[in-house]
Amino acid sequence: MASLALEDVSFAKLADLIEKDTVLAGNILKLVNSALYSLPGTVNSVRHAVSLLGVNKLRNATLSMSVARMWKQVKTPAGWSMASFNLHSAGVAILSDLLAQKLHVEYAEGAFAAGLFHDLGWLLVALGCPDEFKQITLLCCQGERWAAEYELQVLGVSHAELSADGLAVWNLPEPIQAAVRFHKTPELDPAGRGERFALSRVINVADQYLEGMGSTVSVYETSRDGVPNLPDVLGLGMGLAVILEQFEEEFTAIKPYF
């Protein structure tokens, strides 16, 4: 990831690094040979795959696949689906990145990472506070209030705050921390008071769309299977349909890895 962040990194250098990780190399080759790219022949070389994907797509794929693999190694309590968590996180990351590319957004380059880690707080609760996790789960199943109210009732803090605090420990850029902190309440984000959209607004829209698809983290969030309705609150007009079509293609291509 550090190498991918460099402006002058070569495809040869990236290929050499990826080839050292057999699982990642295999997944990158599978991705570039998927229906998403519809190439006339089979790509067998990691270096060729890297050049076809480009730095941005390679960075996003590497981050999401590596993080998902790391999460799978931790033990979570009953009621938690790591597969659902990874898939939802990756979906929000992909859509956030696509939206940010078409909008005047504060720190648009952080959209993918912010989307990928926006619900980190849920995982921290499940791992670090299993009894509280169970209590919140039961409250969500029995009650009709917004899940955030149960978070505050049991923990005294929201998952969005926990997510942002976790990213602060990891030293991720402050704009990404802020986007995650306000992804449920973008209207409170100071970054949204200028001419540009706050990154938290983009994450919020992407999160709602994934929930509308039925892709949720856990029983904390209500699944609304069916055709999601995404109002054009970002003012994209006809461009929104194009973005959503591109998202469906990328999301479908990456699903098998989770």
What's the pLDDT tens digit per position in 133-164? 888 888 877 765 667 788 888 889 999 999 99
Residues 43 and 93 in one domain: no
Residues 158 and 203 in one domain: yes
Q: Name the range with the highest mean pLDDT among 31-45, 51-65, 168-182.
A: 168-182
Residues 32 and 13 in one domain: yes
- Place 70 in a pLDDT band, splitting at 50, 70 and 90: confident
Boundary residue ending a domain (22, 45, 73): 73
Residues 171 and 159 in one domain: yes
Residues 243 and 125 in one domain: yes
Residues 69 and 82 in one domain: no
Residues 87 and 61 in one domain: no
Residues 136 and 244 in one domain: yes
User: What Å distances lie between residue 63 and 68, 129, 240, CA to CA?
Assistant: 8, 26, 25
Boundary residue ending a domain (40, 73, 106): 73
* Residue 29 confidence (pLDDT): 92
Average pLDDT taken over every residue of the chain: 84
Q: What are the tens digits of pLDDT across the range 80-94?
A: 888 889 899 999 999
Q: Which two tokens stand for residue 118?
A: 């926006």
Tally of domains in the chain: 2
> What ranges make up the beta strands (E) of the chain?
none
CATH of the domain at 85: 1.10.3210.10
Of residues 11 and 165, the one with the higher pLDDT is: 165
Residues 41 and 97 in one domain: no
* Residue 79 confidence (pLDDT): 76
Q: For residue 195, is pLDDT > 50? A: yes
Residues 108 and 174 in one domain: yes
Residues 120 and 212 in one domain: yes
Phi/psi-derived region of residue 232, left when phi > 0, alpha when psi is between -120 and 50, beta in every other case: beta
Q: What are the tens digits of pLDDT across the range 113-139?
A: 999 999 999 899 988 888 888 888 888
Q: State the sign of the Cα–Cα–Cα–Cα dihedral 66, 72, 76, 80.
A: positive
Residues 111 and 90 in one domain: yes
- Domain holding 211, by residue range, is 76-257
Q: For residue 25, is pLDDT > 60? A: yes
Q: For residue 57, is pLDDT > 70? A: yes
Kindly report the CA angle at 142 between 137 and 143, in degrees rounded to 5? 100
| Gap between the Cα atoms of 244 and 183, Å rounded | 20
* Residue 77 confidence (pLDDT): 82
Residue 248 phi, psi (nearest 5): -60, -40
| Gap between the Cα atoms of 122 and 166, Å rounded | 11
Q: For residue 223, is pLDDT > 60? A: no
Q: State the sign of the Cα–Cα–Cα–Cα dihedral 4, 10, 15, 16.
A: negative
* Residue 17 confidence (pLDDT): 87
Q: For residue 220, is pLDDT > 60? A: no
